[in-house]
Amino acid sequence: MSAAPEPPWVDVLLASYNGMRYLPQQLQSLQEQTLPRFRLLVSDDGSQDGTQALLQQWAQRLGPRMRVLHNPAPGRGVARHFEFLMQTSLADAAAPYIAFCDQDDVWQPDKLQRLLARLQQLEQQQGADRPCLVHCDLAVVDAALAPIHPSFVRHQHFDPAHGSDRALLSINQVTGCAMLINRALLQQALPLPDAAVMHDWWCALLAAGGGRAFVDAPLVLYRQHGANQLGAKGRSLGQRLARLLREGRAVPRRVSALGHATLAQAQALRQRLQAHGRDTGWVDDYLAWRARPLLKRLPSYRHYYNGPELDRASRWLLW
């Protein structure tokens, strides 16, 4: 009887910066993954708190399963930091699958194994040469890992299992630390355009047309500690009104800036899809809708922001 084939390699990309407080728990959770064939690529953004020495210690512990890379251009922000790691993975061509990792979370032991199984299933349906992505739910926890909410997507009133590609152009429901992508998607994602809001959102958009799947299980402990780049903000009406009262005029300015950013990102996406000979009809439709005057957009708003939480009346409260 022939032996079962070994699972493929996964590159785990970790962008660190002053992560000494929480990084050891994340590294320990990576070491405990039930999927043994993964390589950790780590780049630091100029930490001053001992993170770099910690990474060297873990590199000795994990041996060839961990590479600490020299970041040639620190200080350019999270998306560009991950882009450097993505480019390194693509150039090495050692792993057909890529996962993004934040320094302050904790992964469940079977996270990589479950996402890989679902992604391979998706590739069988779509074709391995098709850009594909899977992502999972997250459990929201505080700085000490005490539970805040058992489901990030329900905490945010998201429905990623049924969210349309068109709605994803305006509201990202795919969290980077919860995703696994294939090499075909990595190839089409690079280089990140200047208009990409975040690397994970950009990847999610390129998985349009059936290349995206959701695993409804909280496979990540999503730590909230006050210094998160994005975080899990409550989106109940009361919580949103409280933010409006607390932050005042900053809220509409931030929403307006996001609106301009999503429009620019959609325009860049159209160009990228066109360059790869892919369908742009759904993006063209969205851009035509965004070009209409506001009052003419209102009747069809839910078509582009699907879900009861994303109607026009609450758009100004999505912060």
Residues 28 and 158 occupy one common structural domain: yes
The whole-number pLDDT of residue 311 equals 36
| Domain match, 284 and 192 both | no
Whether 203 and 75 share a structural domain: yes
Average pLDDT over residues 89-116: 96
Its domain, for residue 139, covers: 10-223
Domain count, the chain: 2
The whole-model pTM stands at 0.88
Residues 123, 264, single domain; the answer is no
Residues 6+ away with beta carbon under 8 Å from 112: 10, 12, 33, 34, 35, 38, 99, 180
pLDDT at 302: 76
What pLDDT is attached to residue 251?
A: 62
Residues 142 and 255 in one domain: no
**Whether residue 111 is found in the same domain as residue 71:** yes
* pLDDT tens string 260-317: 999 999 999 999 999 999 999 999 999 999 999 988 888 887 777 754 333 333 343 3
Q: Quickly state the pLDDT bin for 234 (edges 50, 70, 90).
A: low
Specify whether 73 is located in the same domain as 182: yes
Same domain, 208 and 288: no
- Cα–Cα distance between 82 and 77 in angstroms, integer? 9
Q: Tens digit of pLDDT for each residue in 179-222?
A: 999 999 999 999 999 999 999 999 999 999 999 999 999 999 99
Residue 244: what pLDDT? 53
Residue 193 lies in a domain: yes
